[in-house]
Amino acid sequence: MYRSIIASIVLIILAQAALFPQTKKTQAIKSESYITYQLTHPMHEIEATSKETYCLLEINASQKEIKKIYVQIPVATFDSKNSNRDSHAMEVIDGLTYPNVKFIGTSVTQSGDSVKATGKLTFHGVTKEVYINAVAKWSDKKLWVNGSFNISLTAFNIERPSLLMVPVKDIMRFTFNQVFDY
């Protein structure tokens, strides 16, 4: 009888664990992670990268699922390898007044390796809903998340930079690679 009581308790605990899967928070490894933006001008492409992303995920590692996403990037950390261009970019986006770009995920859905995240992106003091497509690759102890999304500069009240009086295209493309230990 004692064994059947113990067995029942163990089954109840296992059932509860299955009903309430464990999630944990994990932060991106800065030295292995980055985000890049691209702007297009008729005369050239502009690209700048930041390795100073603060990306936090809530994951269920046993089910290989991303549950929640939070990202913050200091805008001054984007480097295009041209200090004049970077200084001008900080002026255009008013980087002293709005020093960070933030994304707070409101919904994450997965199908296999494909991840679709919806959330609120705050940039230049404006918050808009954005949709992000990504791929999540899981190993025994690491997670790689790669993806991209586009925004409209004018939707975020940013005056498009110009070269020879010709402005860049309105679409700014972001691509990212974030690596996590879990």
Q: If the chain, 182 residues long, is cut into consecutive pieces of 10 residues, what is the mean pLDDT of each piece?
A: 66 58 91 96 91 96 94 97 92 94 97 96 97 96 97 95 85 97 92
Which pLDDT score, from 0 to 100, does residue 98 have? 97
Residue 4's region, left for phi above 0, alpha for psi from -120 to 50, else beta, is alpha
Three-class SS of residue 94?
coil
Structural domains of the chain in order of their starting residue, each with its CATH number = 22-181 (2.40.128.110)
Q: What token pair was written down for 33?
A: 């992670």
Which pLDDT score, from 0 to 100, does residue 120 have? 98
**pTM for the structure as a whole:** 0.84
